[in-house]
Amino acid sequence: MMPQLQELPPAEAPVDPTVFINSGPPPWIETIATLGLMVFVGAVLVYPLVRAWARRLERGVVTDELMDELVQLRERVAELEGQGHRMVELEERVDFAERLLTEARETARLPREGGG
């Protein structure tokens, strides 16, 4: 004997599909959609502002004392750059003086012509 299969009754839809067609969506869906749209637009508009604010906080506050110190440091750097040119010129002078001294010593060591 073979077991007999019983036919299942057709499944009923949990919600009548004609409800949405005839009366539209329930009112709470409009509220949720509006809130979702507001959150999305708010996030799109506020995100760049929050990023700029965070960058500003990371940099810190620039005070007048810091600006004065920065100006002084820039002046000192400019002064040191000028002294760098002086150093190069002084090095060239020392090299020239060393060459003159070396030449004078070499001429003193060389025997004189005809003097034997």
Per-residue pLDDT, 1: 56
Token pair for 18: 């004609």
Which amino acid appears at position 106 of this protein?
E
Per-residue pLDDT, 98: 93
Greater pLDDT, 77 or 113: 77
Q: How far is CA 58 from the centre of its chain?
A: 11
Give the DSSP H/E element, type plus range, for residue 1: none
Q: How far is CA 107 from the centre of its chain?
A: 65
- Distance from C-alpha of 42 to C-alpha of 36, rounded to nearest angstrom: 10
Question: pTM score > 0.75 for this model?
Answer: no
The string of pLDDT tens digits covering residues 10-50 is: 777 677 666 666 677 777 888 999 999 999 988 888 888 88
Greater pLDDT, 56 or 36: 36
